Each structure stands twice: as structure tokens, then as C-alpha cells.
A and B are shown apart, each in its own frame.
Chain A
Amino acid sequence: MSHAGRERTEAAPYRLTFDGTTVTARPGQSVGAALVAAGIVSWRTTRRAGGPRGLFCGIGVCFDCLITVDDHPGQRACLVPARDGMRLSREETRPSAEDGRGGEGSDGD
């Protein structure tokens, strides 16, 4: 997928992984932007219908883009800045040893 502002000199991209696949991001990009730029549009499934979701509002309002970042579940992909070496995983990925932390995660209700 293309990027805006190609005329700029680019800093070396960060390398992240999304469920094991390498995704690159430029410094300043959110992890959601990096995924979308890589052609990945969904990384969560809904509880009821199991429907795929990714970015919707893009500015931290809708919580559709929740993703697990370095074992922290329930993070808004549109707000988390990409960092080199970050591990991103789908929200339905279960279970891992650290998953108990999810219980302390914030709840919108």
C-alpha cells in the first residue's frame, strides 16, 4: 500500500511483528497506521458475531481497533506509537502465560 508524503527523506523504518509476520513502520506512525499501510485491515474479532474489525475512527474514540501489544491486551492500535521490535498480536489469540494480565485491563463498562 502506498504512503503519503513520499518526497521526504526517510528515517530507517522500525521492524515490528504481527502474529509472527514482519511489518515495517516509520517513526511517528501508530501501530494501526503501520498495519493498514501493510495492507492488514483487521486484527480483532467481535464477541457476538465473530466479525473482523480494525481501524474505524482512527483517533481513539471507537475502540474498534483493540490489539495486543507486547503482551498488553486491549490497546487502541490507532494511539500506540510503533516502536522497533514491538510484537503485535490479534485480540482473539489465547492463551499465553501472561494473559492473566488481561483481567486487570481497563473496562469500558
Chain B
Amino acid sequence: MATDRPTYDVAVVGAGPAGLSAAVGAAEAGLDVVLVDAGRLPGGQYWRHDDEHSTPPRSHGGRLFARLRARLHHQRDLGRLRYLPGHQVWLIDRPRPDGGPFTLRLNGPYETAPVERDRVRARALVLCCGAYDRQLPLPGWELPGVMAAGGVQALLKGHRAVAGRRAVVAGTGPFLLPVATGLARAGARVLAVCEANPAHGWLRHLDGAVRAPAKSAEAVRYAALMARHRIPYRTRAAVTEILGEDRVRGVRIDGGEVLEADLVALGWGFTPALELPLMVGAATRRDLDGSLVAVVDARQRTTVPGVLAAGETTGVGGAAPAVAEGRLAALSLAAAHGLPVDPRTVRRLRAAIRHGRAFAAALHRTYPVPDGWTDRLTERTLVCRCEEVTYGELCRARTDLGAEDPRTMKLLARPGMGWCQGRICGFAVAAVTASLTGRPATAEDLRPLSARPFAAPVTLGELAEMVDEDEEP
């Protein structure tokens, strides 16, 4: 397998809004860059599109994406940036914990995927690993036809496929709206958006100094689309149960009403993918929305020398602050290399980040994970989908075996020990364990279910190869 011998100045992981911006910015500043992304096309989840000729819609920042993509291709053609789409990072190591170049071990997202490089080396990292839908278990959520809202959206945007005919979109947050209107536009009947929170007056949560006209316009546009497609927007409407035997047949809403549906899209905000920051030893904290995120300073540096982070990795905030943070990370690395950086650009980026983060904070306050969601869990509700661990089993691990923290819970009842390694159930297991122990969940509760020995599935062959190579003189 071919391996790049040169050591890059920087490896950027992820080609979503933050990673694209970081990689392009670093290459344009004069650094030697490798951009590694699991996706087939650049853009990440936010700017997902279906082929290299299309762009996301203009209302979605499609023009900004198109410009970044053009600059990416330009830098690649100049030989300043190596772009590796369809490559996932499964391990990052370095000769000493606090020094030397990083080695990123790569493989393909599926067994027969073409892999151009099985490892790359870089002196610095910018981790822009993005996020995925946060999930809360509820009775019946394992039935086929129940999907993450982001997955339904990915099918629409990336694959032009509609996952059902009669849909209910449920959970909390503004992201439910584009999923509902996207489904309706594609021909599905959307019976309701069930928003668990009261969800009115999020503008109230914005501090006086902060205004977000672009986002307000977006909200108005979605309201119009919801009206046009006659999609009822029901607030304080939590789905309490999903009905069906071998596939979903409907949902029961708080109060008892049943809506018959063959597709249920669920989302409760987002969970940043934190395995790579944790793998390199970066400090993490619990953000306002309850997610574990990487700690960064005003230059996007994590607590590990040479490792920077941008975008959702540092807190769920959406594409606008992500693009600014990616660019700032690039400039921060350029400055560390003694390259000229315009202080006015840095000030402008910091203002954009502050603004974007303040707006995100207002959304987090408006659409929190509702208190008391664990009350809907029954003895037989699956919490961990992979290992099929029920709420009843978690309760017994607490009462009979004395599990008081998620690490012990994981050892005794096995949640988070299956294929997904706690990516889906990690937040829920932390919350359930804390609630059974009568205390709020902390960052300490989230970490054990967010750290993973490998960031992607790896074959025994790949591991053996790594060992052989370490034994070489």
C-alpha cells in the first residue's frame, strides 16, 4: 500500500463547513495540507449533495460551498493540498504522547472502497469531525421505518430517495423543519412535526447585541413552506411511543393521540463526534446543550500541542461559525509557521464566531432535551440498540449491582459495547445512569461512552500490518 513519505504541515480531518474552510485557508496561506474525509463528495452533512455537478440550495449557503469547493480544487491542482475523499481515520498516534508528527491510519468506509493512502503523517491536526443527530430512546424506536432525522435528510439530499409515504417528524429543534419540508417536497405526506418544547419566542433568548437576520429569514421561509405543504407544527408534543410489530405503523403522542405513519424521523439536537479529540488526549467539556465538546482557546487550539479543532467538534453551532472557525484555525497555524496573517481578518473571524455562537446558545436554550424524558422508558425499552440492552437491565445494574457511573454500567450491562460503540446511546446511557443515581449528568458521565479505541471499524489484517510495521527497525 502506498504511503506518503512526506510529512504534511497539517492534516485536516473532515470536509464539512469547518474542515473545507480550514484546509483551503491553510493551503492558501502557504502550508502543505492533506484533507481526509469519509464522504465521497466534499461538504459534510450540512452541504450534502448528490453528485459533483450539483450544489446545495442557495438558501443553505450553497454559493459559499461552491466557492470553497472551487478553491479546494484549485489548491489541489496547484499541488498544495492533497484531498482524500472516501477515507476514514481509524487511529491517530504519534511517537510520544506530547510530541512528534501524528500518523493518521486510514481505511475505506466499506470493504471494497478504493483507498489511495493507508496512512498519512502531519505535524499538526485540525479536527473538524462534525456531528450527528442526538437520539433519545423511546419504546419502539428500534422498529424499521424509524430513522434519525439527519438520515432521512441524507437520503433526500444525497441519494434522492424518500424513506416513506406517511411521515411524522419528531423531537426538538429547528432542524426538524427542513426535514419535514424536504419530505413533503419529495412527495411524502407529513402528518406532523412534533416539537417537544414550547419553542416559541427563541428570539427572546438572543442578547440585545446579537441579531441574526439571515437565520430569522430562514425561519420565516420554513414557516411559509410548512404552511404551503399544510404540515401541522405541534409544539409541546412529545412522541411517547412508537407503534408496530415488524415495522413502524404509527406513533402515540403525549395525551394519547395516535398518528398512523410508515416513517418516523427523530432528532433531539446533535452529538459531536468526539472520538478523535479524545484519542489524542484533548480536554473536553459539557456544552450548553449537554453534548461533550472539545475545549479550544481563542486560536482554535485544543489542550494538546499541535491539535486544533473547529466546527461542531467545539460545540454544536451550525455552518456559519464553523466556516469562521476553520479559517481561524488555518490562520492560527499559518502564524505559528511565521507566515503573515492580517489581524483585521482575525478580528472579523472572531466577531463572526462570537455572533454565531451566541445565536447557537439561544437555540440551545429554546430547544433543550426536555426534562423527564426518561419517564417514558419502560422495562423493555431498548436503550442500546446494538447490544439490545433494555432500560430494565440498566435499572437492575444500578439497584442489584451498584452501577453508579456509565463506565461501570457499560461493564456490567454492556450498553455502548456493540458495533456503534456508544455513538447512538452514549448520551442516553449517561443521562439514565445519572438519573438513576439521583444527580445531573456531567462531562465525566459522557466521556466513557465517547472515547473509542478505534474511530472506525478495522480489520485484523490492518491491525497486524500496523504491528509488523512498528517492529521494523
Interface residues of A (CB under 8 A from B): 1-5, 26, 28-30, 33-34, 36-37, 41-42, 46-49, 51-64, 66, 69-70, 72, 74-76, 78-81, 104-109
Whether B151 pairs with A55 at a CB distance below 8 angstroms is: yes
Q: Is the CB of A57 within 8 A of B421?
A: no
Q: Let me know if B185 is at the binding interface, CB within 8 A.
A: yes
Q: Are A79 and B109 in contact (CB under 8 A)?
A: yes
Quick one: given A1-B165, A29-B160, A106-B458, are A56 and B385 in contact (CB under 8 Å)? yes
Count: A-B pairs, CB below 8 Å: 154
Residues in chain A near residue B388, CB distance under 8 A: 46-49, 51
- The interface residues of chain A lying within 8 Å CB-to-CB of B458 are 106
Query: Once the chains bind, are A59 and B45 in contact (CB under 8 Å)?
Result: yes
Q: A28-B50, A28-B160 are in contact. List 10 more A-B contacts (CB 8 A).
A: A4-B186, A30-B159, A33-B158, A33-B159, A41-B144, A55-B155, A55-B163, A72-B110, A74-B457, A78-B151
CB distance from A54 to the nearest CB of B (A): 4
13 of the cross-chain contacts (CB-CB < 8 Å) are: A2-B188, A4-B160, A4-B186, A28-B51, A30-B159, A33-B161, A37-B161, A42-B144, A51-B142, A58-B151, A63-B419, A74-B457, A107-B457
Q: How many residues of B are in contact with the other chain, CB < 8 A?
A: 56
- Nearest B-chain residue to A33, judged by Cβ: B159
Closest partner residue, chain B, to A37 (CB atom):
B161
Q: Is chain B's interface secondary structure helix, strand, loop, or mixed overall?
A: loop
Judge whether B148 and A56 touch: CB under 8 Å: yes
Binding site for A on B (CB under 8 A): 38, 40, 45, 50-51, 109-112, 132-133, 142-148, 150-152, 154-156, 158-165, 182, 185-188, 246-247, 273, 385-388, 417-421, 423-424, 457-461
Q: Find out whether the CB atom of B161 lies under 8 angstroms from the CB atom of A36.
A: yes
Expressed in whole angstroms, the Cα–Cα distance for A46 and B279 within the complex equals 30
Q: How far is the CA of A54 from the CA of B418 in the complex (A)?
A: 16
Q: Judge whether A61 and B156 touch: CB under 8 Å.
A: no
| A42-B247 in contact (CB<8A) | yes
List B contacts of A2 (CB < 8 A): 162, 165, 186-188
The listed residue (A28, A57, A63, A79) touching B132 by CB distance below 8 A is A57
Is the pair A59, B111 in contact by a Cβ cutoff of 8 Å?
A: no
Q: Are A64 and B385 in contact (CB under 8 A)?
A: yes
Whether the Cβ atoms of A34 and B424 lie closer than 8 Å is: no
